[in-house]
Structure 1
Amino acid sequence: MAGADATGAGADAEDAVAGADADGGGAGTAQEGGTGGAGPAGHETRGGGADDSDAEGGEASGAGAEGREASGEDAEGGQGGEASGEGDGEAAASLSEAEAELAAQRELRERIEERKAAKKGSVAAGTALQGTAADLLAAVRAVESGEKPVASAFHEPEAAAPRRPAPAPEPARRPVSEASAAVAEPAAETVEAVSAVLTEGGAPAALAARTAAVLGEGAGDVLRADPWQLLRVPGTRLEQADGFARALLGPDCGPGDERRGTALTVWLLDQAALAGHTALTSAALGAALGQRGVPDPEAALERAVADGEVLVFQDALDAGPGAVPAPRATSGENAEGAEEEEVAMPVQVLLGLEQYALAEESLADGLARVLNSLPKDDAQGPSAAEWETAASRASGSAAELIRAVAGHGLVLHTGGEEARAEPAALLTAARALGLRVCAAAHGPDGRRRLAERLGGDADGAGDSDRPGDGEASDAAVTVAGLLSGRQGPGRDADGAFALDLLVVLDAPQLDVETAATLVESLPDGARLVLSGDPGVLWSAGPGRVFADLLAARCCPQVVSRTPDPGPLGELVSGIGVGELVQVEAPGKEVVIVPVRDAADAIHRTVQLVADSVPRAIGVPAEQTQVITPGHGGAAGTRALNTALKERLNPGPGRFGGFDPGDRVVYAPVPGRTAFGRVVGADPQGLRLDCEGASVVVPKDRVEQAVRHAWAVTAHQAVGRRWPAAVVVLPGDAAAALTRPWIYSAFGRAERHLSVVQGVAQALPQAVAERPAKERTTRLRTLLRPQQPQAES
C-alpha cells in the first residue's frame, strides 16, 4: 500500500501483536479500519494517537489514552463501547456513572474469585495428554504448587499428531490490579517518588501521577527495580521504555534482560487485546518477542508464566463438522481382554492475561447457568399454554422468537434494523404474561429507537436520567445505564437484576467483560435474549461474544425474515452476503460521488453536507453524518472535521479547540462514547449537551476525551442511525476496507446515503473478498461442553 505507514501493522491472531511495533506507537491504541496493515495510506500512526480499536484487527501500536478514550471505541464495541456521557448536568454525575460501572466490574471479579476458590479440583475436559501438551500440563501444575519453574512446552502440537485435551487445571490467580478497574488518586509521596525516578531516567515528570496510579503503592521502588514496568502505563512505546531502562540501569541493560522479556510479553498481550483478542497462540507471541529483539522468546514466555503475569491454556481445536477424531491405541485392556482405543483431539496452547481469562470463564459459567436454571414448573412462571397463546397473537419471526424464549433460558436473534420489531413484540408479550422485562441497547440512540417501537416517549428515552413516560419507555435502557444502576429495574437483595427477561440489542458490540458483568447479574431462572446484526463490526473491546455464541450453537437461534426496506435495505443486505449490487434509487436514496484525490473528497463532502443533501433530500446538515475509515490521513476525520467546522460553525476554538455549537463525540471512560454539542465553558471545564444529558468535561480531560464529530469512524457510528450519511472512501483507504466496515458504514443511513468514492474497484473487491478479521478467543471452546445438552 503506497505511502502507508506500516510500522505498526497488525493483522490477525498471528500478527496482531506484531503490529505493536516499537516505532509505530504514538499515544493511541489500535487504529480502526486496518485489515492487515496500519490503515489507509497516509493515516497518522505516530505521536498523535491512534484511533478506534479496530474490530477488524487494525494497527495495534501504542496503548494511549487518546485512542481508547477520545476515539469512541465502541463497540459495543468497542466495539466502540456503549454510547454514554449520561449525566445529571454536572461532572460529578458522569463520573459517578463511570465509577458505578467500574464498581460493578470489581464486584463481578470478587464473585468470580469466590466461585473459583469454592471449586474443588479442575474441570474435566477429557483424558490425559501425551507429548508436548502433557509436559505443558505438568509445568502448569508445578508452577501452581510452587515446586519448580515451567518446563519448556510452548510449541504448538503437530497437526499430524492430534492430542486429546486434558482436564484444565485451575490457574493460579493474582489479585486484579485496581488500576485496571479504576484510576485511584495516588498518594502525594508516591507521586513524588515516581517523579524522581522518571526524571533520573529522562522520562517526563508529568507522567508521575498516571504511573503511580497504575503501579500502585511503592511505584517508585517498583519502577527503579524494573524500568520496563513503564510499559504498563497507557501510551508508552517500547523504544521509550528501553531508553528509560538504559538511563537507569546503564550499558549492562540489554534486550535479553529477563525483566524486559516479561514486561514485553504482558505489553504484547495488551496490544492484542486492543485488536480484539482475548488470548494468543504461543507461536504468535513468541514470534512477536523475537521481532522485538528478545533472544530467547521461549524462555521469556516461561518466565512470564512462572511469575504469574500470564496464564497458559490448552484448548481443544474444533476439527470442523463431520470430522472423525483419530483413534489411538492404549496399553489398557477392557473387561473382555480387547485392547481399548482412545480418541485423540488436537489442542492448541494459548496464553492470555488474567483479566480477560477471568471474564471469559465467568461468561461461560454464567451462560451455562442461564441455560440450565430455567424453571421447569409452570407454577414459577407463565405456562406453556400461555406462551403459545402469546405467540399465536404474533406472526412470522416474532412468533418464532416468543416460542423459543418460552422453552429456553438463552436465545440468539439475528436481523437488521427492521428486525428490532421482533424483540419489541417479545417484550410486550412477556410483560402481558406478568414477567418483569427490560431491553438494553448499545447507546441512547438505540434506546430511543427501541422506545419508539414499544410505543413509549422516545424523547425521554434518549436521556439517561429521564426514562420517559409509561412502562414502554421504562423497559428501554442502555447497557451502560443498566450496569451502573442509573436505568432499569434495579437490583434485588442478592445484587441481581430484578427482572425475569433481559433482551440485549446490538449484541455484536458486547465485549467479554461487559457481557460477563451482564450475565453474572442475572438472577437464577431469568431468560436472556441476545439480538443483533451479525454483519456489523465487532466490539471495540476484546472478544467476539455474539459471533462465538452463534458458532457454538449452544442455544436456539432465530433468524429474522423481516428485511430492511427500500434501496438502502437492498444495498446493505447485498453487502452482507458479499455482493455490492447496483440498486434502483428513484428518490436519490443512494448516490455515488466519484472523486480524484483526497482534496477533491473533502471538497465534495463539505458540499454534500452543507448544500446538496439539505437542498435535494431535505435533510439538514445537523442530521447528516460523515463516516470515514480513520482519524488520520489526508481525508480522515481530523481533516474532514477541520473543513466541516470552517463551513458549518467557524470559530477560533477558544475552548481548547472547541466553540459553542461544535458537534463532538465524548468518551467518559475508555471504550464508551456519546455524541453531543458544545454549550460553553467555565472554570470547571467544557460544557456539553450529550443527547439530552448535560455534561461537564474537566479541562485536563478535554484533549483526551473530546473530538469533533461532524466526521467519525464506523466504529464510533455503530449502534446509531442518522437520516443521511456521507461515507468518504479516499483512494488511500482501499487497504483498510472490509465487508463488515462497509456494511456498518452504509447501514448508518435511514433515508439517504452518499458515497464519496475514490477507491475504484477496491470497494466491490472488499465486499466480496474481505470478511471479518478473525480474533483469537476461548469462549467457543469453553461453551463446547454445553453443546450436547443444548442440542438434544
Structure 2
Amino acid sequence: MAAGADGRSGVADADATHAETPSDGDGDGDGDGPAEASGRPVDTGGGTVGSEGADGEAAGAGAQLSEAEAEIAAQRALRERIERRKAEKTAPVEAGAKLSGQAADLLAAVRAVESGAKSGDAFFASPAPAPRRVAPAPAPTPGAGPAAPSRVAPVAGPVAAAPESVASVRAVLSEGGAPEALAAPVVGVLGEQAGQVLRDDPWQLLSVPGVRPEQADGFARALLGAECGPGDERRTAALVGWLLEREAVQGHTALESGAVRKALAEHKVPDPDEAIQHAVAEGVVLVFQDGGADDADSDEPVEVLLGLDRYALAEESLADGLARLASTFSDEAAEAGSWEAGGVSPSAAELIRAVASNGLVAHSGGEAARAEPAALLVVARGLGLRAYAASHSADGRRRLAAAIDDASASVTVTGLLAGTEGPGRDEDGALALDLLVVLDAPQLDVETAAVLVESLADGTRLVLSGDPGVLSSAGAGRVFADLLAARACPHIVSRTPDPGPIGELVSGIGIGELNQVEAPGKEVVIVPVRDAGEAVHRTVQLVADSVPRAFGLSPAQIQVITPGHGGSAGTRALNAALKQRLNPGPGRFGGFDPGDRIAHVPAPGRTLPGTVVSADADGLRLDCEGTPVVVPKDRVEATVRHAWALTAHQATGMRWPAVVVVLPGDAAPALSRPWIYTAFSRGERHLSVVHGVDQALPRAVTEIPDRPRTTRLRTLLQPPAESPAAQESAS
C-alpha cells in the first residue's frame, strides 16, 4: 500500500462503481459521545456539570446498577480477598535507599502514616469551613452516561436511593448552584450521608463522573465563600484523585509523580509537592517505586508512581494469581505424551505441548492463529478435561464454537464470570474447569483479569491468547502486553499467517509497513475523497450498492468503521446518512425505528450489536444477536446508538464479511498503528478504505506504534533474575 504519485496511498484502483459526484461537507472532529467510553475521541472538549468528559467517557449516573447475582458474588469475593491481603501487610511499600528530595518526602509521608507513627492530621491541618453563599445555577445537565456492567437481559436502572438522602443532597446542590439532577448520582457515589459529606468537602463532587474541576471549584466557592482558595487541602486531595481517575480512562493504572505535579500546577495548585504528600497521607492515592529502578549502584533518579488503590490492588492480586497458576505444573510432573495430537499445524502442536507442561501460557497470533487454541481445546476435551474458551464478544464466541464444532465449550468472558455461560462454579466458588483459554486477551483490563484469575482454582491451566497488534482494552491496564514483556511464562508465537490480500496488508501494518498488495478480486480497494462530505457520500454508496453488488452481500453484512463519533464523517453523521438510505423512518422511539441497526453499550468496552424490535412502556426492545434486551427509556440515550458505523474500539473482537474504513481529514490526529491494524483486520472478504488523510495514514503506521500506558503489572510479574541487581550479583 505504497504512496502513489498523487500523494495518496493505493492498493488497487477504486472500482468504477465507486465514482460518484461528491457532496460538500466539513468536519468538526469533536469525537465525543456516551457510547464511546470504550474508545478515544478525535477531539476533546469541556462541558457543564454532568456532561460528557473531555476524555471520551460519558457522564455516568454514578449510582450502582443491578448485576447478575453470580457476577456480584464473584467480584465481592475478590474484593474481600484483596482487602484481607491488604490488611495483613504490615510493612510499607518497598522502596529503594537512594531516594532523595521530593521522592523521599513522598515515601516518608506514606511510611509514617502506614506505620501509625503519625496520622494524616499530623502532616496537615484542615482549615475551618468558610461562610456559605448561593451562586447562580450553571447550565442544565445533559443526559446520564453509560451504566456499569450488567448482564444481557432486561436492563435494570439505577438502584433507587433513599428519598431523604436525595432530598438532603438536592438542598446542598441548590445552595451551591449545582444542578439538582445530580442528587441521585451523588448519593450513589458518596452514600447515604452524601449531603453532609458535600457540606464538609464540596470538592467531593468531583467523584461524580462528568464533573470537572472548574465546576467543582464554583460549587465550593458558593458553599464556602471567599476563604477557600486553590491550595485548600480538600481541593488538592480531590484533584489528585480526579487526575488519576481521568488517566485511568486512557488506560493508565498509575501515573508518574512528576506528571501529577505538572497537572496540579496547571490547575493553579500553589504547592504541588505538598498537595501530593497530603493526598498520600490521607490515603487518596498510594505511592510506589518502580522495582526495575531499584539498583543500589545506579546514579539514575528513581521515579515514584502514584496510583489509586483499586487498580494497585487489582494489579497485585493479578500478579499473585498468575504466579500461583504458573507454578502449578512442571515439565517433570506433566504427562505431556498423552497430549500429543496428529493432524494439527506445527504451531498448534507447540501450543499443546506447552500447555501440557505449564499452568500459564501466552499465545499470540492473528485471526488465522485462533485455530491453534481451537485444536488445543479439542485435545484437552478428548482427555476428559473440563476445557473452555472465553472470547471478548459474542461474535468471537460463535466463531470459536464453529471451529471446534462444540458450542458448549465456547463462552464470553462476561458470561463466564456472571455464571450464565460455561460450567458455573464449584462449592468453593471457583470456576469448575481444568483449562481456560482466553481469546482476545489484549481486551482484558486489569480489574476483569484479576476477577478472572482469582476465580481459577489451583491446578487450573490458563492460556492467554490474542493478537498483540490490536488496540488495548477499554479499561485500565495492559494485561496481555505486560505479561509478554515480563516473560513470566512460556510464549508461543504462531507461525500461521492470515491469508489473502487483507491478511498480507494487515501483517505488514503490524510490523510498521504500509505495503501495496495485489488484490485481483477487489479484496482491498482504496477510495480517495477530498473532504468529509464526499467521504459520507461514498460510504453510503459502498454499503448500499457497490460492495453488495460485487460480493453478493447484504448491507447488514457490511460494517463501517471510523475513528470518532463527532465530525462531519464520524459515526453520528455516517449513521444518520446510512439510516436515511437503508431504514428511513421518523425515529419515533427516542430516535430509533424497528429494524434500525444498533449498538448497545451497557458498560464501557462492552458493545453488543443488534437491531431495534419495538418499544413500549418498559423501554426500547432490542434483539442483540438472538438475546432479547429491554433498555429502560431513561437509559436509551446513554447506552444505545445506531451502529451501521462504529469506532475501531467498539469493533474490536468482532469481524464481518466486508468492512468500510472511513478516514476523513480531521481523523488524522486519532490514527495510530494499532488503530489502523484493528480497523483494517475486521473484514473477512473485503476491505474498502475511504481515504481522505493523505500521508497521515502511512505516517501513523510507520511512526506511531502505540500510545503507551503506565502500569505496574510488568514490574510485579518480572522474575527476580530479570532485575539489574540480581543480574549483577549473579555475575
Structure 1 residues 372-411: aligned runs within 5 Å:
372-374=327-329, 383-387=335-339, 389-390=340-341, 394-411=344-361
2:604 maps to: 670
The match for 1:112 among 70, 82, 93 is 82
SS of the equivalent of 1:625 reads: strand
Change (3 A) 1:180 1:653: closer
Change (3 A) 1:59 1:145: farther
Deviation at 1:298, TM superposition (A): 1.1
SS of the equivalent of 2:599 reads: strand
Task: List gaps (5 residues or longer) in structure 2.
Answer: 1-25, 59-64, 124-146, 151-157
Aligned-pair identity (%): 67
CA contact (8 A) 1:628 1:636 kept: yes
CA contact (8 A) 1:50 1:67 kept: no
For 1:739, give the aligned amino acid: R
Deviation at 1:138, TM superposition (A): 3.2
CA contact (8 A) 2:244 2:254 kept: yes
- Deviation per CA, 1:268-292: give whole Å up to 9, x if none: 1110000000000000011011111
2:11 maps to: none
2:589 maps to: 655
The match for 2:37 among 45, 49, 52 is 52
Q: Does residue 42 in structure 1 map to residue 28 in structure 2?
A: yes
Change (3 A) 1:251 1:290: same
- Deviation per CA, 1:10-60: give whole Å up to 9, x if none: xxxxxxxxxxxxxxxxxxxxxxxxxxxxxx9722267x6583344799859
Change (3 A) 1:735 1:360: same
For 1:666, give the aligned amino acid: H
Change (3 A) 1:231 1:130: closer
Structure 1 residues 57-72: aligned runs within 5 Å:
none
CA contact (8 A) 1:56 1:275 kept: no
Structure 1 residues 769-788: aligned runs within 5 Å:
769-785=703-719
Deviation at 1:412, TM superposition (A): 0.5
Following the alignment from structure 1 to structure 2, what is the Cα–Cα distance between the partners of residues 557 and 56?
33
Following the alignment from structure 2 to structure 1, what is the Cα–Cα distance between the partners of residues 606 and 48?
16
For 2:451, give the aligned amino acid: T
Following the alignment from structure 2 to structure 1, what is the Cα–Cα distance between the partners of residues 106 and 326?
33
Q: Does residue 586 in structure 1 map to residue 586 in structure 2?
A: no
Following the alignment from structure 1 to structure 2, what is the Cα–Cα distance between the partners of residues 62 and 406?
54
For 1:195, give the aligned amino acid: R
Deviation at 1:634, TM superposition (A): 1.1
Structure 1 residues 638-787: aligned runs within 5 Å:
638-785=572-719
Structure 1 residues 421-432: aligned runs within 5 Å:
421-432=371-382
Task: List gaps (5 residues or longer) in structure 1.
Answer: 1-39, 74-94, 154-178, 320-324, 329-342, 456-471
Deviation at 1:408, TM superposition (A): 1.1
Change (3 A) 1:137 1:229: closer
The match for 2:273 among 298, 307, 328 is 298
Following the alignment from structure 1 to structure 2, what is the Cα–Cα distance between the partners of residues 53 and 213?
22
- Deviation per CA, 1:237-281: give whole Å up to 9, x if none: 222211111221222232222211111111111100000000000
CA contact (8 A) 1:227 1:245 kept: yes
Following the alignment from structure 1 to structure 2, what is the Cα–Cα distance between the partners of residues 590 and 545?
33
Following the alignment from structure 1 to structure 2, what is the Cα–Cα distance between the partners of residues 429 and 615?
42
CA contact (8 A) 2:41 2:565 kept: no
1:231 maps to: 206
Deviation at 1:309, TM superposition (A): 1.0
SS of the equivalent of 1:514 reads: helix
CA contact (8 A) 2:257 2:304 kept: yes
TM-score for the superposition, normalised by structure 2: 0.85
Following the alignment from structure 1 to structure 2, what is the Cα–Cα distance between the partners of residues 551 and 570?
26
Q: Does residue 489 in structure 1 map to residue 475 in structure 2?
A: no
The match for 2:483 among 522, 546, 549 is 549
Q: How many residues align?
A: 663
SS of the equivalent of 1:52 reads: helix
Q: Does residue 420 in structure 1 map to residue 420 in structure 2?
A: no
Change (3 A) 1:63 1:664: farther
Following the alignment from structure 1 to structure 2, what is the Cα–Cα distance between the partners of residues 121 and 302?
19
Following the alignment from structure 2 to structure 1, what is the Cα–Cα distance between the partners of residues 375 and 122?
56
1:449 maps to: 399
Following the alignment from structure 2 to structure 1, what is the Cα–Cα distance between the partners of residues 79 and 241?
20
Root-mean-square deviation (CA, aligned residues, Å) is 3.0
SS of the equivalent of 1:673 reads: strand
CA contact (8 A) 2:57 2:249 kept: no
Following the alignment from structure 2 to structure 1, what is the Cα–Cα distance between the partners of residues 42 and 463?
28
- Deviation per CA, 1:449-489: give whole Å up to 9, x if none: 0001011xxxxxxxxxxxxxxxx211100000000000111
Following the alignment from structure 1 to structure 2, what is the Cα–Cα distance between the partners of residues 578 and 50?
30
CA contact (8 A) 1:730 1:758 kept: yes
Deviation at 1:670, TM superposition (A): 3.3
Deviation at 1:137, TM superposition (A): 3.5
Deviation at 1:436, TM superposition (A): 1.2
Structure 1 residues 222-301: aligned runs within 5 Å:
222-301=197-276
Farther-moved stretch of structure 1 (105-114 vs 406-415): 105-114
Deviation at 1:192, TM superposition (A): 0.5
1:311 maps to: 286
Change (3 A) 1:546 1:59: farther
Deviation at 1:127, TM superposition (A): 6.5
Following the alignment from structure 1 to structure 2, what is the Cα–Cα distance between the partners of residues 128 and 408?
37
1:101 maps to: 71
2:530 maps to: 596
For 2:368, give the aligned amino acid: E
The match for 1:195 among 166, 170, 173 is 170
1:163 maps to: none
Following the alignment from structure 1 to structure 2, what is the Cα–Cα distance between the partners of residues 126 and 220?
40
Change (3 A) 1:422 1:60: farther
Farther-moved stretch of structure 1 (226-235 vs 539-548): 226-235
Change (3 A) 1:102 1:181: farther
CA contact (8 A) 1:476 1:488 kept: yes
2:6 maps to: none
Deviation at 1:102, TM superposition (A): 4.0
The match for 2:188 among 213, 222, 240 is 213
Deviation at 1:618, TM superposition (A): 1.5
CA contact (8 A) 1:58 1:275 kept: no
Following the alignment from structure 2 to structure 1, what is the Cα–Cα distance between the partners of residues 45 and 259?
14
Farther-moved stretch of structure 1 (109-118 vs 646-655): 109-118
- Deviation per CA, 1:312-338: give whole Å up to 9, x if none: 11122369xxxxx6x74xxxxxxxxxx
Deviation at 1:135, TM superposition (A): 4.8
CA contact (8 A) 2:365 2:493 kept: yes
- Deviation per CA, 1:556-576: give whole Å up to 9, x if none: 110001111000100100110
1:165 maps to: none
For 2:238, give the aligned amino acid: A
CA contact (8 A) 1:43 1:634 kept: yes
SS of the equivalent of 1:688 reads: strand
Q: Does residue 360 in structure 1 map to residue 315 in structure 2?
A: yes
Following the alignment from structure 1 to structure 2, what is the Cα–Cα distance between the partners of residues 648 and 180?
32
CA contact (8 A) 2:29 2:566 kept: yes
Change (3 A) 1:266 1:672: same
Change (3 A) 1:181 1:754: closer
Change (3 A) 1:227 1:214: same
